[in-house]
């Protein structure tokens, strides 16, 4: 071993040890490893920040934005209620998520399949009271397994097909991967379903102050219109849209105030007083197509384009103290609607327009992004951690899915590479107002991208210093004396071990020729060995950085670096145990 190779292995070993120690945040550890590698000369100075321009950083950041846009649209919540209204246990929810992600990953980019279903996981987590971490890592692993089922499911399959064509003149076809992929997906998903408890319950590590603030007792009023989906349905049906998080305090029918019994049928023109968190109220309003209090906000006869809703506290100095919403007439004088009120320790039973405001009340105000700051300042209203809420905001539910579908189609037919397609999809979320620009930068999750960008040149040092070739030489000496099943298992295990430090396509490029030469030297056909390389490169379950699917769920799941091998190591052993005999059966070496 050369000095540079020793230094490269040392830097990576120290970095992995500190990651597992888990005393410092992951992006800080990655940046320190990068500086150490540059200082020792393992990473050239001119390549120190090459990771920031790497495709993986663009793909992960864009996928996070796309996922946030899909979640914000509300279409996921609507689909859950329509097609799976009774999935309320973690096992049934997790089974559905993993199966859908695995099947989608066989035909579209697995990170795209994962991005589509992540919002569903958060909805299920909230419904069942479980941590999102219980769902996200099994889903990421299912996406990796599902990608094994077809040639286009994952990059290693495409690269290994090209290698086979160079070696034998015949490429693998689209569904040559299907028998092995289906076997491993069924085994892997079954394991994840029964052993998901190996994943600890985590909370998001870099949660913002906005996420720590939760108002649970907003009071709002909604009107039933002719277009409402709950017309002629019961109060109980209405409250189901909020997953039981909201209650009805009264129903106003003309001048009559009625008790909100669960079997009371709603009629057009009824006004329902609701109480609950803003997220639950938003689901009820959007899914039930109900009308909130206030008037449509228009500008020159057209609906204002940039309407948002914010939470604000009535301060002691506010001139609104002692006035009712009707007396304020904010809709007509300032172009702002009052959508909901929360008063600590009290259940409000009056209509919003008749309620006298007090200092400390929390209001949900709707207005244009340009107009609201001036209103908050003029009336001494304090925005709640600068946090926006979805209640009362207009959204196009199908726009995010259309944008994502176009991006996936562009990659499938070769119009655009994956990084460009996903970047364009993320930009489309902003251009078509599927997600506000402020939320765009929150969704990007900077610490994750910094970690990735810092790790890429450090991991690549194994290749640039010749460390990967050194490993290949050791491997060749060992495998030459092994039987077919032993050599096949060694190739598979090595590909799994190398993938976290090289990207999966690079792993195939390094390991593929080695595997083929093993087969030739031992007198075996190369197909099983090439398949073993593709499986090993596509099944990185041990770290959050070996595959972008693992990285995508790292921040939202609140995981630690050491959480991945807790579930991934036994799954990797299982994949190896199943793959070797299955490969020898499906792709005979004799």
**Cα gap 17→119, rounded to integer Å:** 33
Least Cα distance to 570 among 192, 270, 151, 210 occurs for 192
356 three-state secondary structure? strand
The tokens describing 39, both together, are 């200082």
Reported as half-sphere exposure (CB side, CA atoms, 13 A), residue 29 has a value of 19
- pLDDT (tens digit per residue) in 552-586: 898 888 898 889 999 999 999 999 999 999 999 99
What pLDDT shows up at residue 85? 66
Q: What is the pLDDT of residue 32?
A: 93
Residue 551: left if φ>0, alpha if ψ -120 to 50, beta else—which one? alpha
Q: What integer pLDDT is reported at residue 404 of this predicted model?
A: 80
Closest Cα to residue 223, out of 251, 244, 257? 251
Q: Which of 185-189, 205-209, 297-301, 401-405 has the highest mean pLDDT?
A: 185-189
- What are the angstrom distances between the C-alpha of 506 and each of 125, 413, 423? 36, 23, 23
Residue 204 has pLDDT above 80, yes or no: no
Q: How confident is the model at residue 500 (pLDDT cuts 50, 70, 90)?
A: confident
Distance separating alpha carbons of residues 549 and 180, to the nearest angstrom: 21
Confidence of residue 463 (pLDDT cuts 50, 70, 90): confident
- Find where tokens 């000095």 sit: 3
Confidence band for 143, pLDDT divided at 50, 70 and 90 = very high
Residues in the chain: 590
Pairing, β 362-368 against β 247-253: unpaired
Mean pLDDT for the stretch of residues 517-534: 83
**Res 86 pLDDT > 80:** no
- Interatomic CA distance for residues 569 and 572, integer angstroms: 5
How many C-beta neighbours within 10 Å does residue 170 have?
10
Query: What is the enclosing helix (H) or strand (E) of 64?
Result: helix 55-73
Best CA proximity match to 379, nearest among 398, 396, 357, 399 = 357
Q: How far apart are CA 405 and CA 483, in angstroms?
A: 47
Q: Are 335 and 368 contacting, i.e. CB atoms less than 8 angstroms apart?
A: yes
Question: Is residue 587 within a helix (H) or strand (E), and if so which, with residue range?
Answer: none
d(CA 305, CA 297): 9
CB 406 within 8 A of CB 369: no
Find the mean pLDDT for residues 367-392. Answer: 76
Cα–Cα distance measured from residue 228 to residue 72, given in angstroms and rounded to the nearest whole number? 21
pLDDT number for residue 157: 82
Quote the pLDDT of residue 393. 63
| Residue 220 vs residues 237, 360, 367, 390, 393: alpha-carbon distances, Å | 18, 17, 16, 14, 15
Give the residue with greater pLDDT, 443 vs 491.
491
Predicted model pTM: 0.66
State the Cα torsion 332-389-283-428 to the nearest 10°.
Answer: 100
Is 452 within 8 Å of 419 (Cβ atoms)?
A: no
Q: What average pLDDT does this structure show over 405-419?
A: 81
Distance from C-alpha of 433 to C-alpha of 366, rounded to nearest angstrom: 17
Cα(64)–Cα(441) distance, rounded to whole angstroms? 10
- For residues 212-240, give the mean pLDDT: 83
Q: Residue 438 — very low, low, confident or very high, per pLDDT cuts 50/70/90? A: low
Concatenate the DSSP letters of all residues of 378-421 into one string: HTTEEEEEEEEE-TT----TTHHHHHHHHHHHHHHTTSS-HHHH
Percent of residues, the chain, with pLDDT higher than 70: 88
Confidence class of residue 280 from pLDDT cuts 50, 70 and 90?
confident
- Hey, which of 225-229, 438-442, 463-467 has the most confident mean pLDDT? 225-229
pLDDT at 578: 96
Higher pLDDT, 205 or 263: 263
CB 9 within 8 A of CB 467: yes
- Residues 273, 274, 278, 281, CA torsion sign: negative
- For 253-274, give one letter per residue: b (16+ CB within 10 A) or e: eeeeeeebeeebebeeebbbbb
Neighbours of 213 (CB within 10 A): 12
Specify which residues 302 forms β-bridges with. 299
**Range of lowest pLDDT (64-68, 119-123, 453-457, 559-563):** 64-68
Are 8 and 458 within 8 A, CB to CB?
no
What is the per-residue pLDDT for 506?
A: 63
Output the pLDDT for position 395. Answer: 63
CA distance 30 to 554: 14
Tell me what percent of the residues of the chain surpass a pLDDT of 90: 18
Q: Distance (Å, rounded) from C-alpha 504 to C-alpha 100?
A: 23
Instruction: Evaluate whether 509 touches 533 at the Cβ level (below 8 Å).
Output: no
Cα of 49 vs its chain's centroid, Å:
26
Between 218 and 546, whose confidence is greater? 218
Q: What is the DSSP string of 459-522?
A: HHHHHHTTHHHHHHHHHHHHHTTS-HHHHHHHHHHHHHHHTTTS-HHHHHHHHHHHHHHHHHHT
Mean pLDDT of 433-455: 77
Q: Band the pLDDT of 212: cuts 50, 70, 90.
A: very low
Q: Which long-range contacts (CB under 8 A, 24 or more apart) does 253-261 make?
A: 260/235, 261/235
Alpha-carbon distance of 98 to 85, in angstroms, equals 18
Q: How far, in Å, CA of 137 to CA of 188, rounded?
A: 13
Highest mean pLDDT among 37-46, 349-358, 440-449, 506-515: 37-46
| Lookup: tokens for 118 | 């992540």
Mean predicted lDDT score pLDDT of the chain: 82
Q: Residue 31's closest CA among 13, 7, 49, 8?
A: 49
If you average pLDDT over residues 460-487, what whole number do you get? 75
Predicted pLDDT at 209: 43
What's the Cα-to-Cα distance from 184 to each of 110, 135, 144, 573, 589, rounded to whole Å?
Answer: 16, 20, 10, 12, 20
Q: What's the average model confidence in pLDDT over 37-61? A: 87
């Amino acid at each position: 071993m050369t000095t540079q190779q020793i230094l490269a292995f040392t830097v990576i070993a120290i970095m992995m040890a500190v990651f597992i120690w888990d005393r410092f945040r992951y992006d800080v550890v990655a940046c320190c490893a990068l500086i150490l590698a540059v200082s020792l000369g393992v990473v050239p100075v001119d390549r120190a920040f090459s990771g920031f321009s790497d495709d993986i950083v663009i793909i992960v950041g864009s996928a996070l934005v796309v996922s946030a846009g899909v979640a914000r649209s509300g279409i996921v919540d609507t689909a859950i209620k329509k097609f799976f209204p009774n999935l309320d246990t973690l096992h049934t929810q997790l089974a559905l998520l993993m199966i859908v992600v695995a099947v989608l990953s066989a035909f579209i980019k697995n990170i795209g399949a994962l991005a589509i279903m992540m919002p569903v996981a958060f909805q299920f987590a909230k419904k069942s009271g479980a941590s999102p971490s219980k769902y996200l890592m099994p889903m990421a692993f299912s996406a990796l397994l599902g990608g094994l089922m077809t040639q286009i499911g994952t990059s290693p399959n495409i690269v290994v097909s090209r290698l086979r064509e160079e070696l034998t003149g015949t490429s693998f076809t689209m569904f040559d991967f299907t028998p092995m992929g289906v076997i491993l997906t069924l085994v892997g998903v079954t394991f994840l379903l029964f052993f998901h408890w190996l994943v600890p319950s985590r909370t998001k590590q870099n949660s913002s102050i906005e996420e720590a603030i939760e108002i649970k007792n907003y009071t709002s009023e909604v009107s039933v219109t002719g277009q409402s989906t709950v017309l002629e349905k019961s109060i109980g049906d209405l409250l189901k849209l909020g997953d039981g998080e909201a209650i009805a305090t009264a129903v106003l029918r003309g001048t009559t105030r009625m008790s909100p019994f669960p079997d009371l049928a709603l009629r057009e023109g009824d006004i329902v007083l609701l109480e609950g968190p803003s997220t639950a109220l938003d689901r009820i309003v959007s899914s039930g197509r109900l009308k909130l209090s206030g008037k449509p906000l228009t500008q020159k006869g057209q609906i204002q384009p940039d309407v948002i809703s914010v939470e604000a506290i009535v301060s002691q100095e506010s001139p609104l103290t002692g006035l009712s919403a009707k007396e304020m007439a904010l809709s007509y004088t300032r172009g702002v609607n009052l959508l909901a009120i929360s008063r600590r320790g009290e259940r409000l039973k009056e209509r919003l327009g008749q309620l006298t405001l007090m200092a400390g009340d929390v209001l949900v105000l709707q207005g244009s992004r340009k107009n609201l700051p001036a209103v908050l300042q003029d009336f001494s209203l304090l925005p709640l951690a600068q946090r926006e809420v979805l209640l009362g905001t207009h959204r196009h539910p199908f726009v995010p899915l259309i944008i994502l579908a176009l991006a996936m189609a562009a990659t499938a037919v070769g119009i655009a590479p994956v990084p460009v397609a996903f970047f364009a999809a993320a930009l489309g979320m902003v251009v078509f107002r599927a997600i506000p620009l402020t939320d765009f930068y929150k969704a990007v999750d900077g610490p994750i991208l910094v970690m990735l960008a810092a790790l890429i040149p450090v991991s690549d040092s194994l290749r640039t210093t010749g460390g990967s070739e050194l490993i290949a030489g050791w491997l060749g000496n060992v495998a030459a004396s092994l039987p077919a099943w032993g050599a096949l298992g060694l190739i598979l295990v090595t590909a799994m071990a190398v993938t976290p430090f090289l990207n999966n396509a690079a792993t195939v490029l390094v390991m593929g020729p080695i595997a083929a030469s093993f087969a030739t030297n031992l007198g075996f056909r190369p197909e099983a060995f090439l398949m073993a390389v593709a499986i090993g490169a596509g099944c990185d379950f041990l770290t959050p950085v070996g595959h972008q699917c693992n990285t995508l769920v790292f921040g939202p799941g609140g995981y630690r670096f050491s959480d991945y091998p807790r579930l991934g190591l036994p799954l990797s052993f299982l994949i190896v145990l199943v793959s070797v005999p299955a490969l020898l059966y499906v792709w005979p070496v004799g």
